[in-house]
Amino acid sequence: MNASIVVGLDGSTESTAAAHWAAREALLRDLPLNLVHAADWSSPLGVPATGTAAGREWAEALLRDAVDELRNMHAGLEVRAQSIDGRPAASLAIAAASATMLVLGSRGLGTLTGFVLGSVGMAVIRATEQPVILIRAHEEVLPHAASRHTDRDMVVGVDIGGPCDEVLDFAFEEASRRGCTLRAVLTWTLPPLVGYGAAYDPSLHEQIADSMTVGLDDRLQPWRDTFPSVDVVARAPVGHAAEQLLAAGAEAGLVVVGRRIRQSSVGAHIGPVAHAVLHHSRAPVAVIAHR
């Protein structure tokens, strides 16, 4: 692996926030930062069309200014920059293939361009198995934001019914590196016939809740043993997974969710929980691919 952090840069406010978040993460990991601009990227309004001399000059100026700004604001950071000809999703996936992680700006729900850089972001998530981190435009870029990068808790969604080792590996390693609390969330729902009518039994609800809590603790134990310094708060609330993760991660420094790697060329290649969290989370979101 070519140890580095790759960030996609297109001149938008979101990608600028992503670059500064990635710079803080690169310093935390003692890694170089690689800024990548894809020549075919749909640029912000008022930017020269890609493929033209003016467009190429704009891209070169964008990267040059970004490198200078990041070096000035993040002392000791090693920054590289490259402009790649080709479609942005493929270009970013190629650039990230041997990197530690890929960081992208995310516009969120309710904008004209959709979410996660629209189709570009979704295509990148499908195309790479590296961790992809999505950053909102409101993430602070000022120097004092470095403390917020590590001081805030992290949240990870846990699935005890399927594989999620890669998700927990990433979450615990990152929490250990940051020295922050890791909040592990497992959600569940009542069986269809339990919650209706007079047959509802509160004691059964409590039994299921206890069983889920024990299952979550058992699932986390190997990572607790490997990362004894990580303060872990485990919860198994009843409810919809995305809603619980969003509530737990409202003020988090990072929310970690998994996506199953699928070979089919059809579909979004991302589960409904990760999809909803990406739509609505104000916190940075890490999407971790797993089999």
Residue 157: closest CA among 287, 65, 267: 287
Question: What's the pLDDT at 132?
Answer: 95
Q: Which residue has the tokens 């002392």?
A: 75
Question: What's the pLDDT at 198?
Answer: 47
pLDDT band for position 141 (cuts 50, 70, 90): confident
Assess contact for 99 and 6: CB atoms under 8 A. Answer: yes
Assess contact for 88 and 38: CB atoms under 8 A. Answer: yes
Question: What's the pLDDT at 114?
Answer: 35
Rounded CA gap, 90 and 63, in Å? 19
Between 159 and 268, name the one with better pLDDT. Answer: 159
Rounded CA gap, 195 and 174, in Å? 38
Question: What's the pLDDT at 142?
Answer: 67
pLDDT band for position 260 (cuts 50, 70, 90): confident
For the cut 50, the answer to whether the pLDDT of residue 113 exceeds it is no
Question: What's the pLDDT at 53?
Answer: 77
Tokens of 37: 């601009």
Residue 247: closest CA among 187, 166, 161: 187
Interior/surface letters 254-273, b for 16+ CB within 10 angstroms, e for the rest? bbbbbbeeeeeeeeebbbeb
Tokens of 196: 């209706």
For the cut 90, the answer to whether the pLDDT of residue 79 exceeds it is yes
Q: Which residue has the tokens 């990548």?
A: 36
Question: What's the pLDDT at 90?
Answer: 85
Rounded CA gap, 12 and 117, in Å? 10
Give the helix/strand (H/E) hosting 34.
strand 33-38
Domains along the chain with CATH numbers? 5-147 (3.40.50.620), 152-291 (3.40.50.12370)
Handedness of CA 35, 41, 42, 45 (dihedral sign): positive
- What residue type is 223 in one-letter code? W
Name the maximum alpha-carbon separation found in the chain: 73
- Predicted confidence (pLDDT) per residue in 171-225, tens digit: 999 999 999 999 999 999 877 655 555 456 778 778 888 999 999 999 999 999 9
